[in-house]
Structure 1
Amino acid sequence: MGRATARALAYLASGLVAGAVDLAWSLAAVLGVGLLSITQLGGPAFLGAAWLTRRLATVERHRAGWILGEPIPAPYLPAGGGSIRQRVAAIGAQPATWRDLAWLVLLFPIGLAGGIAGIVIAAVDLAAIVAPLWAWAVPNPHAPFPMRPLMTTTPGRFGLTVIGLMLLPVAGWLLRTLARLTVAVARALLAPGAHRRLVERATRLAETRARVVDAQAAELRRIERDLHDGAQARIVAAGMTLALAARKLRGGGAADTDVALARRQLDDALAELRRLVRGIHPPILTDRGLHAALAALAADSPLRVDLRGDQSDRYPAAVESAAYFVVAEGLTNAGKHADADACQIDLVRTADTISVTLADDGQGGADPAGPGLDGLRRRVEALDGTLTLTSPPGGPTILHAEFPCAS
């Protein structure tokens, strides 16, 4: 309790100096940035003022830790790189920037009132406790009752000591209460607010979703690998066994007919299984990447397909899978419904995005709300991407998917 009271007194007393310094800086920063805002130095001046304001606010968060037991967490969001204008916009858009400034201004009257009150309470109680050491030097026969007998007589001075000791817990409680009230205002302004909490929650949700998407992609690759290496291999082996049996039964008869039928059924099952595997996750995506998988799609398409993009570039597995099925759906629609003769696929990666564009020369009129495109849109949006379709009557039809690199 004694240490808590000492920290409360230190916090209140230091608030006098901190309030004066912070107010002076706040006025100078507002005036300086306001005057320089009409010049080319406005942006750098704002960034410099914000930097120093945040340092002063950080000191206040650590001072509040004297009362709270730990510093108030910083509420700042990363401003990122870019130009000075972009950094100014990013920092200015954060509520914490202006809440810091508000506290630095409010600290002067709050710190002045709390500091003076704290010092007076501590000084009066301490003076009463040590009254026998000093009260004799300031005799005042005209002091009002009961101060005159307490100050001018030896028993009275020792009585002041007893009164001071009795009031010591009350003085400590008052000091701690004043400090807690001041810190409550500081925490309301300097602690992370709703904006920071929402941003952090959105970040956590994005990270969680990315992990779920990656896990789903890994599971699809595992299923594809198991089907390819397990069931498909066993079907091929069974077909070979039937082929050997058919060779031994070349004499004809019902058995030969049944074996031939079984072979055809196995061939059909194998073809269906291969289509299923390609629909889950084409093996070529894992082995050779998106460009090679799109090249295979283009080779199988009845249309003339021109594929453009970096052949050696690799992308996140979930992005490769989503982009592959966007192009597969686009090629299928162009061939079946648009009466197209040729398509162009552009695969482009920039610093921030990965985009896939498919354009055909068909008759257009595609329905953006169709079930196939709607499923693709949900798949793309699950990666924070966007899918747009432009298909006026008469064509051309352009299907464009864009994914953030973070995906």
Structure 2
Amino acid sequence: MRLAVEGLRLLGAVTLGALTALCELVFLLVTLPFQANPNVVASARRLARLEARRLRLDAAGLTALTGGDLRASLYLAARVPLGLLGGMVITLLAYGAGAAVLIVVLWGQGLPFDGMLPSLPLAAYAFVAGCVLLFLDLSGVVGVHALERMLIVRMLGPDRTRALERRIAELAESRAGIVAAVDSERRRIERDLHDGLQQRLVALSMLIGRSKRNRPELLEQAHQEAQEALAELREVAWRVYPSGLDSLGLDEALAGVAERSDVPVKVTCQLRRRPPMAVETAAYFVVSEAVTNAAKHAAASLITVEVHEEDDQVVVRVRDDGCGGARAAGGGLSGLARRVAALDGTFELTSPPGGPTSITAVLPCG
């Protein structure tokens, strides 16, 4: 059923292409002396956009449709013969189908075949010949449609050299961003160790030293300091890399983020299968950093985390009902954006003054 629907859609596209080729031929002949006119150029771009829609291509990816040059007119001139060829193929297909129906009807009435070859050999010959011609005709329809798609992408699509240069520049920028993000993360870990854990251990050492001087009441205080130091050490270790992510998976790791947060966090993780480790790690850090920022700076009362799959991509969305005003250029969020960009993902921040704040990261799994 699906193949039949797709075949009918293909036939319709090629048939419509033959009709538009005739219209475009008239357009080119009429406007030939005025090709440099801006109105003619704009009309040619509109016709090319219609062709892209007919061929089910995204017109936004055809860079020539946004400029003021004559590439759209050149494309129309190049596709007119191809469209007319498609019209001839459709005409032959219609003629063959009509002839087959007519032969079947006349054969049933026994009119044209009296005294000719025996009916069985003649029927077999007609059937085999008809199947071969039908196959060739349908192949021609598919070929014309494929050639039309290749032509519009080749003539109106982005230049491959420029696309590669742009991709190289993006990769170089993302690589530099990754290095900067790693350095920033190392500096933050050093601050956490120096300002938090190190101070607590110094205080613990002093309390133990004082308790040796016949002051056992200080042992309880030393025990409390040791517990808090261990808690901070675990927190810092999870910031470096969440070891539970390997064994527990993303769902349980995010549940741990919710448990450690001072603000209520509602987590919804709906993944049909476990994503690649790099994607899983990036998703975890997006949620962890977003929850930490909301708890520290947004004065939020509720944080909602949603993780789900869309078209072989993991979509991570974190919302809070805080005061808003978050900036993508902030240290933590800019690091997240670079981490997501390193996986060819997209990172979006929406945080108007007064809130709410929404962070969305789309991570491809391919």
**TM-score bin (small chain):** 0.3 to 0.5
Structure of higher CA gyration radius: 1
